[in-house]
Amino acid sequence: MNTAVIVDVLRTPSAKGKVGGALSAVHPATLLADLLKTLVTKHDLDPALIDDVITGCVTQSGEQALNIGRTAVLAAGFPVSVPATTIDRQCGSSQQAAAFAAQGVIAGVYDVAIACGVESMSRSPMFSNAGTKDPSTGPLSTRYPAGLVQQGIGAEIIAARWKFDREQLDEYAARSHRLAVDVAAPQQSAQIIGVSTTDAAGEPVVVDSDETVRAGTSVGSLSRLRPVFESAEMSARFPEIEWSITAGNSSPLTDGASAALIMSEAKAAVLGLTPRARFHSFSVVGSDPLLMLTGPIPATEKVLERSGLRLSDISAYEVNEAFAPVPLMWQSHFDTDPDRLNPAGGAIALGHPLGASGGRLLGSMLAYLEATGGRYGLQTMCEGGGMANATIIERL
């Protein structure tokens, strides 16, 4: 059986996913194409050797429609023989892309693959590809007659049922920004690729740092923000909710792209490339689509069972910070070392460009393992519709 290794992980900076955000003037296919070109150029890799480019993207409409992965491959100038596909596992799309790429290598279908992701939430807003935000009003109405809820409500339900109060959520959010400044910035600078664009005045500029990180964020400043999902309808339906999810303890709308160069260990040796890590274990699960965000718990249990490892064997746990209650719920359930949980900050500070977030987490985890000498890292991500992926890598 082949061993699937990670040669490199690169990403763009995370930018505010709204009009006027630092990357909002860049077409999403261009954002990804430039990243792909940088990845192969950095390693002097002939792109004709790439067997597939697997691309995560959630809002596949407008500029992100019609297989944006293939559009980006062609825009990058790769040979027309290089194929690409675009997949949607919601927030875990590029994590799933990496799993598919690695599994293809392990199976002997691929020698070299790129797993990547892109999301321009400023140019292709979330839900713009849906006729309704609630699919349960249509084909799922019989199974879920009361209707499903959006993720923010799911986060509120989790906060209530796990008894996390507003102060705990804000404390966690402030921690994310603090670690992003103190830990992520020095560890991850080598993986961030500057993006050429124009500023508000139309002048050329290179964006080379994360716009979403707010240095000096405190519990006091976060406490002044109002809950964003509160409604009389949801209060009546879920009376346990205390309305504590704000823009400050949630991940921001974000523009960004990520890409990982994955190949067989044997191919890396032939090409003279030094792998940074190998893929160890994978899992993907479904979970309650009403709560939606609880999937990282069974995904973690499943990947640990498959790996033969214990959480105490793992140096870093990347649990996507879609909302503060998600990693707090995970930590509460497993009762493990809190210092290993998102030790370089997470999506609350570093952004959540949906289809690209899995790659960002992978790069963050790998950089942390290399900086600290850790051996294993576990990455897991809650996903819309009630799903989650989990991946374990081993630093080489």
- For the question of residue 352 being annotated catalytic, the response is yes
Percent of the chain at pLDDT above 70? 98
200-216 average pLDDT score = 94
| pLDDT for the residue 136 | 63
From the list 57, 177, 280, 382, the catalytic residue is: 382
Measured CA to CA in angstroms, residue 165 lies from 170, 241, 307 at distances of 9, 10, 35
**CA–CA gap between residue 167 and residue 225 (Å, rounded):** 12
- For the question of residue 116 being annotated catalytic, the response is no
Tokens 């927030």: give the residue.
Answer: 91
Q: Which of 252, 244, 251 is nearest to 228 (CA)?
A: 244
Measured CA to CA in angstroms, residue 383 lies from 116, 216, 251, 300, 396 at distances of 17, 30, 14, 14, 29
**CA–CA gap between residue 79 and residue 102 (Å, rounded):** 22
Residue type, 114: I
130-137 average pLDDT score = 65
The helix-helix angle for 68-75 and 28-42 (nearest 10°) equals: 50
Fold adopted by 279-395: Peroxisomal Thiolase; Chain A, domain 1 (3.40.47)
From the list 27, 43, 91, 333, the catalytic residue is: 91
- pLDDT category of residue 260 using cuts at 50, 70 and 90: very high
From the list 57, 116, 177, 352, the catalytic residue is: 352
More confident position, 310 or 290: 310
| pLDDT for the residue 137 | 66
256-263 average pLDDT score = 98
Max CA distance (Å), the chain = 63
> 254-264 and 15-16: which strand pairing?
antiparallel
Q: Residue 86, SS3? A: strand
Mean pLDDT for the chain overall: 96
- For the question of residue 27 being annotated catalytic, the response is no
Cross-strand pairs, 91: 89
Tokens 């990180």: give the residue.
Answer: 213
All residues at 6 or more sequence positions from 388 whose CB lies less than 8 Å from its CB, including other chains: 92, 284, 285, 287, 295, 296, 298, 299, 380, 381, 382
| pLDDT for the residue 85 | 98
All residues at 6 or more sequence positions from 326 whose CB lies less than 8 Å from its CB, including other chains: 155, 158, 293, 296, 319, 320, 382
Put simply, whether the predicted model's pTM sits higher than 0.85 gets the answer: yes
Q: Which of 137, 371, 121, 110 is nearest to 265 (CA)?
A: 110
Q: In this model, does residue 133 exceed pLDDT 70?
A: no
| pLDDT for the residue 180 | 98
Percent of the chain at pLDDT above 90? 93
| pLDDT for the residue 198 | 93
CB-based burial, 254-278: b 16+ in 10 Å, e otherwise = bbbbbbbbbbbeebbeebebebbbb
